[in-house]
């Protein structure tokens, strides 16, 4: 419910990246002429959405063996918190497309896409 209340209509986000940034799951880049010029606006967006997505991943990893396997593969490459953040960002993308196209979550499709991305 937190995601639904805080999102307030997915149509206000043009792209998945905009939604991910609003959820504080992607760091904003400030570039000029292809060069990084700063790292501001890290606190823009909804902290409640970031909390909700991190909680979802924590519970999903504990309750679903397929998601736990994906999380374990990510933990081999990154630190545990970074692995959770990566999964939360990917889940945010899945939620964006679920809300946009009005489809339900398919864990097999999510894990298959993650297995390709991690490999």
What rounded mean pLDDT belongs to the chain?
88
Q: Is 34 left (phi over 0), alpha (psi -120 to 50) or beta?
A: left
What pTM does this model have? 0.83
For residue range 59-76, list pLDDT tens digits in order: 999 999 999 999 999 999
Q: Is 105 left (phi over 0), alpha (psi -120 to 50) or beta?
A: beta
Domain range for 54 is: 2-118
Structure tokens at 105: 């979550």
**Structural domain count of the chain:** 1
Ramachandran angles phi, psi of 4, nearest 5°: -65, -45
For residue range 101-114, list pLDDT tens digits in order: 999 988 888 888 76
What is d(CA 66, CA 45) in angstroms, rounded to the nearest whole number?
Answer: 30
């Amino acid at each position: 419910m937190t995601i639904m209340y805080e999102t307030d209509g997915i149509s206000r986000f043009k792209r998945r990246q905009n939604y991910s940034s609003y959820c504080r799951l992607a760091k904003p880049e400030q570039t000029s002429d292809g060069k990084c010029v700063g790292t501001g606006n890290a606190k823009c967006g909804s902290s409640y959405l970031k909390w909700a997505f991190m909680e979802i991943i924590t519970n999903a990893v504990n309750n679903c063996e397929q998601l736990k396997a994906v999380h374990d593969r990510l933990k081999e490459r990154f630190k545990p918190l970074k692995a959770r953040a990566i999964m939360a960002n990917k889940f945010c993308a899945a939620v964006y497309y679920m809300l946009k196209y009005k489809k339900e979550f398919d864990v097999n499709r999510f894990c298959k896409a993650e297995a390709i991305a991690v490999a």
